[in-house]
Amino acid sequence: MAVFRQLISQGRIKFNFGVVSVEPKEDDLRRVHDIINEIDNRRAFYNSMEDEIPAPVVESIRAAKQKVHELRQGLWADPWARQVVQILLDDLGDFLTKIERFPLPKHWHDVRFGRVEKHLVELRLRVWTAVAHFVVVFGEAVKPLHLPSEILEEVRRAYKAR
């Protein structure tokens, strides 16, 4: 019901002689752009490990997950883009689940930091790979500053190999 009301208020539902049709707006690109900016602007996804304190990093990732969840709301015209965002959210949630099973270390000298570092590196690779897919598909319209060039080139090669 909430989605229906939202569609009516945004003018996406049209009534033609008793037939209801939904006209999704082409705002997927805006959503993707906003999601990429949310990731690109958070140091948790690109900062040097030695400069990190785990608790704020985890809180930043939790906040990013919440923001991406908010940004993905509504109908998508492009199911592929929606699916990539769903995978991104799943990866963020998986990281939080793994990392919160044990007490967080206070700093990078703590012996428990290795486990956090391992999961954080894996998360960063997954997140930036998803972002690279968006860059390859949507081109110059989405241009993250912190996307590692190696990941972008690997994703480009994968698309060219198909």
Residue 1 belongs to a domain: no
The tally of domains found in the chain comes to 1
Is the predicted pLDDT of residue 32 greater than 60, yes or no? yes
| 82-131 confidence digits (pLDDT tens) | 999 999 999 999 999 999 898 998 887 888 888 999 999 999 999 999 99
Cβ atoms of 120 and 49 closer than 8 Å: yes
| Residue type at 116 in one-letter notation | V
Q: How far apart are CA 141 and CA 144, in angstroms?
A: 10
Cβ atoms of 116 and 53 closer than 8 Å: no
- C-alpha distances in Å from residue 37, one per residue of 33, 113, 115: 6, 28, 28
Residue 73 belongs to a domain: yes
Range of the domain at 67: 26-161
Residue 154 belongs to a domain: yes
Q: What is the mean pLDDT of the chain?
A: 85
| pTM of the shown model | 0.80
Residue 20 belongs to a domain: no
* Structural tokens at position 35: 């999601």
